[in-house]
C-alpha cells in the first residue's frame, strides 16, 4: 500500500511531523502544504536531503492541491504568534486558517482520515468533522495524547520508574480545563495510590505541572514540536497498520456532542470506538465541565 500523508502547515509542528514520518519510515509519500509556498518548498528540499542520508525512499512534494486526496491528512496550521497559555484565545485565527483548506480537500476528493493538531484542538477537530461530513471516527485530534505523556513523565519522576511503564490518561480539553484521571493511573498493574512514594504526593501540583508543561517548553524554547510530532507519528502509524491501539485522543463523545480528550481505539478507519473508562465522581464532573468549555467555544464560531 502507498502510505500517503498530506501535512497542512509547515511550521515547527508540521515540519517535525514530516521529519518523524521520514526518519521512522512511516510514509511512502508526503505532501507538504503551506500558505507560504517558499516555506513548503524549502522543507521539501531539506527532507529530501536528509532522506538521501538515511536511505529513505519516501516521495515528497509540496502545494499540489490534487495531493490533498491523501490517505491521511494532518492539520497542523498554527497562529501567527503564540502568546498565551490559554489555547482558546487562538480560536478565531486558527478556525479560519484550518477551514480554508476544507474546500480544497473536498475538491481533491479526500475521503481518508484526518488527524488534527491545530489548537484549540478539540474545538477545531469538532469544526473540521462538521465541515468534512466524513463517516464517524475518520476525523479526530491529537487531543490529550501529549498531556498523557507528560503525566507519565511527572509520575515516573515521582516513583523513579520508566514513564513507559505507566498507564493512565489525561482527559478533557487539550487546554486549561483538562484533568488527570488519577483513578486510571496504573504502574506495574498497581494503582498509583498503592505506591509508597505516592502516599504524600501533591496531586494538585503534579496536575498543574502536567497542564502547564507545554507552556514551560514554549516560554524557554519559543515553540513546542518534538512531543506532539512524535505523538502524531504514532497515530499515523496506528492508522496505516490498523494497530487498534488505545491512545488518549480528541474523539467524538456522541452524548456530549463534541470531540474531547478520552481514550479510544485507533485503527485503519481512525477512531474504532472510544473507551468509557470508569471515573471517580469528581473526575466525571471535571469531564462534563471540560466538555462545556468546548461547547461554549464552538458556539462562538457557529
Query: DSSP for 88-123?
Result: GGGHHHHHHHHHTTHHHHHHHT--SEEEE-PSSHHH
The catalytic position among 4, 12, 29, 174 is: 174
What's residue 63's pLDDT?
98
Mean pLDDT, residues 221-228 taken together: 81
Strands, E, within the chain: which ranges?
Answer: 4-8, 29-33, 59-62, 72-75, 113-116, 139-141, 166-167, 170-171, 179-180, 186-187, 190-191, 245-253, 258-267, 270-274
Q: pLDDT band at 213, cuts 50/70/90? A: confident
- How far from 286 is each of 18, 62, 178, 211, 214, CA to CA, in Å? 35, 42, 8, 14, 21
Mean pLDDT, residues 290-298 taken together: 96
Evaluate whether the domain defined by 4-141 bears CATH number 3.40.50.1820: no
What's residue 149's pLDDT?
96
Pairing of strands 186-187, 258-267: unpaired
Domain ranges of the chain: 4-141, 145-301
CA 86 to chain centre: 17
How is residue 143 written as a grid cell? 487531543
68-82, 149-163, 173-187, 211-225: lowest mean pLDDT where?
211-225
In the residue annotation, 174 being an active-site residue is answered as yes
Mean pLDDT, residues 182-193 taken together: 96
What is the architecture, at CATH level 2, of domain 145-301?
A: Alpha-Beta Complex (3.90)
CA 176 to chain centre: 16
How is residue 255 written as a grid cell? 452524548
What's residue 275's pLDDT?
97
Q: pLDDT band at 71, cuts 50/70/90? A: very high
Eight-state DSSP code of residue 301 = H
Mean pLDDT, residues 194-221 taken together: 87
Torsion of CA 269, 266, 19, 119, to 10 degrees: 90
Mean pLDDT, residues 209-220 taken together: 77
**What mean pLDDT is reported for the chain?**
94
Q: pLDDT band at 87, cuts 50/70/90? A: low
Which of 185, 205, 176, 211 minimizes the C-alpha distance to 88?
A: 176
Question: Is the pLDDT higher at 168 or at 219?
Answer: 168
Question: Is 60 exceeded by the pLDDT of residue 84?
Answer: no
pTM score, whole prediction? 0.94
Mean pLDDT, residues 138-165 taken together: 97
What's residue 89's pLDDT?
73
What's residue 18's pLDDT?
98
Question: Is 60 exceeded by the pLDDT of residue 45?
Answer: yes
Q: How far apart are CA 115 and CA 142, in angstroms?
A: 7
Q: pLDDT for 158-183, tens place per residue?
A: 999 999 999 999 999 999 999 999 99
What's residue 80's pLDDT?
72
Eight-state DSSP code of residue 143 = T
Amino acid at each position: 500500500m502507498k502510505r500517503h500523508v498530506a501535512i497542512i502547515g509547515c511550521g515547527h509542528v508540521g515540519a517535525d511531523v514530516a521529519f518523524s514520518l521520514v526518519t521512522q519510515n512511516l510514509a511512502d509519500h508526503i505532501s507538504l502544504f503551506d500558505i507560504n509556498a517558499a516555506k513548503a518548498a524549502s522543507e521539501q528540499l531539506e527532507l529530501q536531503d536528509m532522506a538521501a542520508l538515511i536511505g529513505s525512499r519516501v516521495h515528497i512534494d509540496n502545494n499540489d492541491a490534487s495531493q490533498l486526496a491523501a490517505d491521511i491528512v494532518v492539520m497542523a496550521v498554527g497562529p501567527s504568534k503564540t502568546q498565551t497559555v490559554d489555547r482558546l484565545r487562538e480560536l478565531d485565527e486558527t478556525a479560519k486558517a484550518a477551514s480554508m483548506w476544507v474546500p480544497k480537500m473536498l475538491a481533491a476528493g479526500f475521503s481518508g482520515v484526518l488527524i488534527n493538531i491545530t489548537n484549540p484542538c478539540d474545538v477545531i477537530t469538532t469544526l473540521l468533522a462538521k465541515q468534512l461530513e466524513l463517516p464517524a471516527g475518520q476525523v479526530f485530534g491529537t487531543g490529550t495524547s501529549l498531556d498523557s505523556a507528560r503525566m507519565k513523565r511527572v509520575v515516573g519522576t515521582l516513583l523513579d520508574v520508566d514513564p513507559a511503564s505507566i498507564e493512565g490518561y489525561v482527559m478533557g480539553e487539550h487546554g486549561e480545563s483538562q484533568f488527570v484521571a488519577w483513578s486510571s493511573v496504573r504502574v506495574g498493574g498497581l494503582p498509583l495510590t498503592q505506591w509508597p512514594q505516592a502516599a504524600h504526593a501533591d496531586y494538585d501540583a503534579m496536575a498543574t505541572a502536567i497542564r502547564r508543561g507545554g507552556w514551560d517548553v514554549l516560554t524557554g524554547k519559543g515553540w513546542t514540536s518534538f512531543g506532539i510530532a512524535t505523538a502524531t507519528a504514532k497515530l499515523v502509524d496506528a492508522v496505516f497498520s490498523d494497530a487498534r491501539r488505545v491512545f488518549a485522543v480528541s474523539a467524538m463523545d456522541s452524548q456530549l456532542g463534541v470531540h474531547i480528550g478520552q481514550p479510544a481505539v485507533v485503527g485503519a478507519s481512525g477512531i474504532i470506538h472510544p473507551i468509557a473508562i470508569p471515573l471517580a465522581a469528581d473526575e466525571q464532573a471535571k469531564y462534563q465541565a471540560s466538555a462545556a468549555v468546548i461547547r461554549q467555544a464552538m458556539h462562538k464560531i457557529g
